[in-house]
A = this chain, B = another copy of it.
Amino acid sequence: MSTVETAAADSGGSLHQRILSDISEKILSGAWAPGHRIPFEHELTEQYGCSRMTVNKALSQLAKAGLIERRRRSGSFVRRPQSQAAVLEIHDIRIEVEALGLAYRYERVARQKRRSSAEDRGLLELDAAGPVLALECRHFAGKRPFAHEQRLINLAAVPEAGEEEFLDIAPGPWLIGRVPWSEAEHRIRAVAADDHAADALDIDPGAPCLVVERRTWGAEHPVTHVRFTYAADSHTLVARFRPQG
């Protein structure tokens, strides 16, 4: 998936960007309905008085963004939106807390280096047993616990993490930038707080919580699995997005 740079009339001074926004405006306003055939490249070439490469650049971007479909010998056509895809920004918790105007504090609750258990391997999607680092942390907003973090780090992929105590720096920021990653997966769900989470977040057992789990891979190997638990009233994920995926 990709997003279209602009839906407004004309944006960046470049010509291909102007062509792109002209066309996407037509589509998003509904003037060109799904199925409508877009002018051929050679027609747009005349219309804008430019070379075919310039037109092609704009149309290729629209195709990549999923707004149009291009077929050889037939032309380019407006696609109808099918599935919706949102770009969900996941920020560092410290930044999130400070954006709320609250003081941020980090606390490492527990740290254990161990040989991966069967459960660890399930969470990390590891094939074979190996050393892992298990961490438990709390993130505070003001005086109240904001998030509870339970993390596993695959020490085969990140051996230097085994030397770090994570007393003063949270594992998230530590890992970011230090470990290249190529892919990740999120799972977002609501749960009732179990006793452990309730204790960590200072809420009643059974109270609703938002759980965000993230699994990260780098260079084909699992790097880390983390589960953040937020009290229901403390946290909302927000995603802004544009058509088509």
> Smallest Cβ distance from A56 to chain B, in angstroms?
11
Interface size class of A (residues with CB under 8 A): 35 or more
Kindly supply a per-residue 1/0 record for chain A positions 212-240, scoring 1 wherever the CB is within 8 Å of any chain B CB and 0 otherwise.
00000011000000000010100111111
Report Cα–Cα, A28/B192, bound state, in Å. 37
Judge whether A167 is part of the interface by a CB distance below 8 angstroms. Answer: no
**Are A241 and B176 closer than 8 Å at their CB atoms?**
no
Judge whether A190 is part of the interface by a CB distance below 8 angstroms. Answer: yes
| With A84-B184, A190-B210: A219-B89 Cβ-Cβ less than 8 Å | no
> Smallest Cβ distance from A14 to chain B, in angstroms?
12
| With A89-B85, A90-B84: A240-B207 Cβ-Cβ less than 8 Å | no
| With A2-B2, A83-B91, A89-B83: A218-B30 Cβ-Cβ less than 8 Å | yes
> Smallest Cβ distance from A144 to chain B, in angstroms?
16
Kindly supply a per-residue 1/0 record for chain A positions 156-191, scoring 1 wherever the CB is within 8 Å of any chain B CB and 0 otherwise.
000000000000000000001101111111111111
The 10 closest A-B pairs by CB, nearest first: A208-B208, A190-B190, A190-B210, A186-B239, A188-B237, A30-B180, A80-B177, A28-B182, A190-B232, A86-B88
